A and B are shown apart, each in its own frame.
Chain A
């Protein structure tokens, strides 16, 4: 098999040099070989994928152009509704549920010729940072199977990192795309809030959730975002504007751009991570950007505000899993007990914890001190960013304060797990785009991700810088490999 990138595959398939069926078969065989260990997938649909690929090949033979992702295998996080595959959000409460409709992003992928391969593992209802909170077992990091892949979109990150698929979609509420991308060494992007329709995304925290791409390269991530972005009449919070043009921005460089390195987000990072962020800053400076340290003190309040806002919205979003219309039911003599027993059995510990936290934050007597105050802190975070973006085009930080941690190491202490998202949460609160780019490794060879943040709708500038870092990274790791070989 040649180059395993979405752009190369699509080009080959459209040109008739590659067959979509062969690509699909290769993908399925990679999954069959590697997934028993990694457990990136909750569901794989070989028949559907092969049938779909054959249809695409036929259309191409007839001279049709199925679209920009012709024949490209794509994996979907299991919180995206698919009408022909089960969709569980990795929860026992939705075990076996088959939605009667496709999420808007799924329709758009199909319209662009993509081949949906299956559904990936995740933390239950996207609540977690390690993919250990799945009701169907944890996913392992391909760089070290004893470690977590990050989360909540761990399955999608691993599917791309292990080259099972070239592209995957995840969702990012507090870092759920970027943090696993960093821990697995792939590119992960959270677009501007409203850029991608949320219709068909099983909600965690509606005002923070956003769907975004995973890919091995910045260019692949850019093309996937271009395909799924754009206004959707089924999502009231969808931005009414043209999808961004990103692919044609990638070689524009960063000459003259101003980049701020956010000191508050660097403070708590492991030295190995901080070193890579410094290197990335240097790389951008060498490419002509003006890089300096900056401070946005209010960002330190992002995490506490997030752990009030997100659970509050979640407590309401997850009320519907009551055993009446779909999913699990535990029988009981009356409705209230039926609801309570169903939810007790169907939800995992982390989900219950957040429902409890959110219910408490919204309840009478605590609303003002917790929920309302957190909403006001959200305003202050937005203001803090706005002030920074008066001076800078982009901000740079670690994606995660640490590299991949061992399975099980943070499960006992929820707060320690929550701290994994300390660098990613601010962009969710602000609704701004941000992405993680692999940049070097720690001493154990585990990937480090650096985060680029941009103001609302700043994706185009963001991917320019990402492309510069990517080019330098492949040069560096090539250098590193040569150094190691010489030793």
Chain B
């Protein structure tokens, strides 16, 4: 986007709650079951049925609200009236002018804050599958409806228009997702639709206080489409204004294939939802004690956990730490240098470690004296393959593995293999695994011998390396790794090659 305009985005995120049952009935809240099997008189909207509120859903809404620094307020359910075949009662029970959570904010990893206008409870609709006509436009195409999802509890989180780019929108949703996971309120899966994002996008001339005409963008099924749709849409609106045209307020659809937003075909009918208080439900008035009990039951939030992890990473080693019991002084000196150099690179992975829920493991390993860089890298790369199991790895084992790699007793490649074994969950100690696999790093003499034979077998490459072609160094390292079947440490090989060249 050119300099003259700025983008203004507000997001509406629907989060499906991870309750066992639906919002107003006892049907299982489960994704992927056979169609129309999790249904009862209530969620099918049969005549005579009545809703009864799920207490767990209310507590989850409160947890989300508290995590977003919202005020938890007395609230009322309303009926939102409109006809749609996937809505069994042809009205949706939602919260209108008295939502349960209001006035909060969400802090992004970069420190910026996005205001939260409200977060409210409502019921989901069923799922409609459109069976398209093949060929003829006026052909009798039809739709199929599955009500398993009808009545599943949702919390809709509405942000203030504080977001200024696709990238920031992406961060906002990632952070919201991290909060949902940390508070165990939703599985936050965009692909399965348990997290659904709509973006209200407008642009304005820089420095202006007035909001431009906004368009609502739907069908944002991934973080990537969210960011791209916002970039595309703000560019489209800016173009219109530049050409002296007006932005029309409308709902647009993100077309994944065409990589652009297109207006939704909608009927001329103006929406008039005729909200009124739901007479079948009573007011929801969370008392101070209840709110405090919920607050007390909440785990640490991503924001706090990131801060804690950063502290652990940057904290200087003190002599009182058990570090020395594991690592000799000389080694610890060596560690310091490796520890300090890539600080920034390591810190850039903090959010990811927290998102994976591996911060406890990394912090524990660091406290046991493990190398910080290696601990973080193994967590975000290898352990990420199965974070659920990785969370159950014993911190002592993880620290030991990192120490073995760091001291050069095993190579990085071998360390990764051992970690993969550890993720299989037999609880085996990394040294045992290393012994079973026959892993040990090569001694310096053995390594020099291999390097010599690689050089003589690839004299051309060696000559190019000597004459300054750094790229070919990688090839030589690769040859050494191949010859040692991964027992060599790549960095050590490169150091030896360089030393030999310089020597």
Contacts and interface: CB of A to CB of B under 8 A. Distances in A.
Interface of A: 79-81, 87, 89, 94, 97, 99-101, 103, 198-203, 205-207, 233-237, 312-313, 315-316, 319-320, 322, 324-326, 333, 335-336, 339, 359, 362-364, 367, 371
B47 A81 contact: yes
B48 A202 contact: yes
B279 interface: yes
A80, A89, A237, A325, most chain B CB atoms within 10 A: A325
Given A319-B90, A333-B140, A364 B272 contact: yes
B472 interface: no
Contacts of A80: 48
A68 to B, nearest CB: 25
The 5 closest A-B pairs by CB, nearest first: A319-B90, A362-B274, A206-B279, A207-B279, A202-B47
Interface of B: 41, 44-53, 79, 81, 83, 85, 88-91, 140, 143, 145, 267, 272, 274-276, 279-282
Contacts of B145: 324
A234 B26 CA distance: 10
Contacts of B143: 335
Contacts of A205: 279
A199 B50 contact: yes
Contacts of B88: 320, 325
Contacts of B85: 322, 324, 335
A236 B47 contact: no
A320 B47 contact: yes
A97 B48 CA distance: 13
B270 to A, nearest CB: 8
Contact of A312 (B45, B90, B276, B282): B276
A100 B41 contact: yes
Contacts of B272: 363-364
A37 to B, nearest CB: 30
B49 A199 contact: yes
A339 B83 contact: yes
Contacts of B79: 316
Contact of A319 (B46, B52, B91, B267): B91
B48 A203 contact: yes
**B52, B88, B267 interface centre (most CB from chain A within 10 Å):** B52
B44 A359 contact: no
Nearest to B79: A316
Contact of A325 (B45, B52, B267, B281): B45
B123 to A, nearest CB: 14
A326 B90 CA distance: 13
Given A203-B48, A236-B53, A319-B83, A101 B279 contact: no
B274 A363 contact: yes
A362 B53 contact: no
For B48, B140, B281, which residue has the most chain A Cβ atoms within 10 angstroms?
B48
B90 A320 contact: yes
Contacts of B83: 319, 322, 336, 339
Contacts of B81: 315-316, 319, 362
Nearest to A87: B47
Contacts of A203: 47-48, 280
Given A80-B48, A81-B46, 15 more contacts: A81-B47, A99-B48, A199-B48, A235-B50, A235-B52, A236-B50, A237-B279, A237-B281, A237-B282, A313-B279, A319-B89, A325-B46, A362-B81, A364-B274, A367-B276
B47 A89 contact: yes
A371 to B, nearest CB: 6
A320 B282 contact: no
B48 A81 contact: yes
B47 A234 contact: no
A251 B258 CA distance: 82
Say what secondary structure dominates the interface of chain A: loop
A319 B87 CA distance: 10
Nearest to B280: A206
Given A206-B279, A339-B83, A362-B81, A236 B48 contact: no
Nearest to B41: A101
Contacts of A326: 46-47
A199 to B, nearest CB: 5
B280 A101 contact: no
Contacts of B276: 312-313, 316, 362, 367, 371
A94 B50 contact: no
Nearest to B145: A324
Contacts of A316: 79, 81, 91, 274, 276
A359 B91 CA distance: 13
A180 B432 CA distance: 87
A363 to B, nearest CB: 5
Contact of B51 (A103, A236, A313, A371): A236
A367 B81 CA distance: 14
A245 B88 CA distance: 39
A205 to B, nearest CB: 8
Contacts of A202: 47-48
A235 B51 CA distance: 7
A139 B280 CA distance: 31
12 contacts: A87-B47, A97-B47, A101-B41, A236-B281, A237-B282, A313-B276, A320-B90, A333-B140, A335-B143, A362-B274, A362-B276, A363-B272
A367 B276 CA distance: 9
A198 B90 CA distance: 20
A123 to B, nearest CB: 16
A219 to B, nearest CB: 29
A322 B90 contact: yes
Given A362-B81, A363-B272, A363-B274, A233 B45 contact: no
A315 to B, nearest CB: 8
A320 B272 CA distance: 17
A205 B279 CA distance: 9
Contacts of B48: 79-81, 87, 99, 101, 103, 198-203
A87 B48 CA distance: 10
A393 to B, nearest CB: 28
B25 to A, nearest CB: 9
Nearest to A201: B48
A199 B50 CA distance: 6
A320 B42 CA distance: 12
A89 B53 CA distance: 27
Nearest to A319: B90
Nearest to B85: A324
A207 B49 CA distance: 14
B288 to A, nearest CB: 22
A79 B280 CA distance: 17
B46 A101 contact: yes
Contacts of B45: 320, 325
Q: Which of B49, B52, B90, B274 has the most CB of A within 10 A?
A: B274
A100 B280 contact: no
A156 B53 CA distance: 33
B47 A99 contact: yes
B46 A100 contact: yes
Contacts of B267: 336
Nearest to A81: B48
Contacts of A100: 41, 46
A325 B279 contact: no
A94 B47 contact: yes
Contacts of A198: 48, 50
Contacts of B90: 319-320, 322
A457 B53 CA distance: 25
B13 to A, nearest CB: 27
Contacts of B52: 233-236
A367 B267 CA distance: 24
A404 to B, nearest CB: 30
A116 B52 CA distance: 28
- Point out which of A234, A315, A371 has the most chain B C-beta atoms below 10 A from its C-beta: A234
Of the listed residues B267, B280, B281, the one surrounded by the most CB atoms of chain A closer than 10 A to its CB is B280
Interface-central residue, A99, A201, A324, by most chain B CB under 10 Å: A324
